[in-house]
Amino acid sequence: MGHEFDRTIALTHTDDGYEAELDPGWVVGGGVNGGYLLAVLGNALRETLAGKPDPFSLSAYYLSASTPGPARVTTEIVRDGGSVATARAELSQGDTARITALATYGDLAGLPDDVRTSGQPFEVAPRERCIDAGAHMPEEMRRGVPLMERFDLLLDPASVGWALGTPSGEGEIKGWIRLADGREPDPISLLMFCDALPPTTFDLGLFGWAPTLELTCHVRAVPAPGWLRIRHATTNLAGGMFEEDCESCDAAGRPVAQSRQLARAPRG
């Protein structure tokens, strides 16, 4: 019943927390996608912080690579006062800590209606001019990246040079994205989308895994149904690390999530 995405982030209550089953469908390279793990953590925090359903901010520190299979999530409320609540969460497998996180939750639907966005929204080519990332991936590459089956990703033509041997060098990858199972976006799936695109380092000509050290996502509004416009960008690759900013806008053109991560650069 329901959507695949909800089944793969589902939790079982236990005496001291939650159990999750990390789905092999979210594997990318050697590990489980960090955005999917954020959504699992975010789901556990939503259960813990009843009445404050939405992640305003979630900061995750990645300690070791997760593998498909059972995982445990523990949560602890740090402060629950007024309109927001702050809590800790840990995701572990066996005796090994995978992620430690902090988050502040509240009710996005209860926020005032003022919108004074001053930034220029990023432009993405119309979907009919974009390139279906999954459909163009060679079969042997797809086998190593099952997460590409989880969503529909249409990349802007300006963002696919890396796949053709001509990365732009701008450090930007953008396009349109939605879950492949037909589930509409919500604040929890926005946590996943903020780490779903290929690393921006691909667009700098550096291929390979870019393990996240830290990722903070701010969810700013409940997304409207439909495709999300999404952009990954970096400006500073130095000392073997880079920052990766992700912005997503909903079908109504409203910014709905902003994230930044610090990741290790691939050797390239």
**What residue ranges bind its own copies (CB under 8 A)?**
56-57, 59, 61, 63-64, 78-79, 84, 86, 88, 97, 100-104, 108, 111-120, 169-171, 204, 213-214, 216, 218, 220-221, 234-241, 243, 254-255, 258, 260, 262, 265
Give CA–CA dist 223/225, Å, rounded.
6
Question: In this structure, are residues 105 and 87 in contact, taking their beta carbons and an 8 Å threshold?
Answer: yes
In whole angstroms, the minimum distance from the beta carbon of 102 to its own copies comes to 5
Give CA–CA dist 176/125, Å, rounded.
9
In whole angstroms, the minimum distance from the beta carbon of 69 to its own copies comes to 20
The candidate with the shortest Cα–Cα distance to 194, out of 141, 240, 154, 249, is 249
Question: With respect to its own copies, which residue has the nearer C-beta, 127 or 260?
Answer: 260
State phi, psi for 255 to the nearest 5 degrees.
-65, 125
Question: With respect to its own copies, which residue has the nearer C-beta, 141 or 213?
Answer: 213
Question: With respect to its own copies, which residue has the nearer C-beta, 108 or 124?
Answer: 108
In whole angstroms, the minimum distance from the beta carbon of 192 to its own copies comes to 19
Residues found in the chain: 268
Question: With respect to its own copies, which residue has the nearer C-beta, 113 or 139?
Answer: 113
Residue type present at position 131? I
Give CA–CA dist 155/127, Å, rounded.
8
- Which residues touch 254 (CB under 8 Å, ≥6 apart)? 115, 221, 223, 224
In whole angstroms, the minimum distance from the beta carbon of 254 to its own copies comes to 8
Give CA–CA dist 21/36, Å, rounded.
12
Question: With respect to its own copies, which residue has the nearer C-beta, 46 or 150?
Answer: 46
In whole angstroms, the minimum distance from the beta carbon of 91 to its own copies comes to 12
Q: Angle at Cα 138 formed by Cα 128 and Cα 245, nearest 5°?
A: 60
In whole angstroms, the minimum distance from the beta carbon of 63 to its own copies comes to 5
The candidate with the shortest Cα–Cα distance to 58, out of 220, 217, 247, 225, is 217
Question: With respect to its own copies, which residue has the nearer C-beta, 76 or 132?
Answer: 76
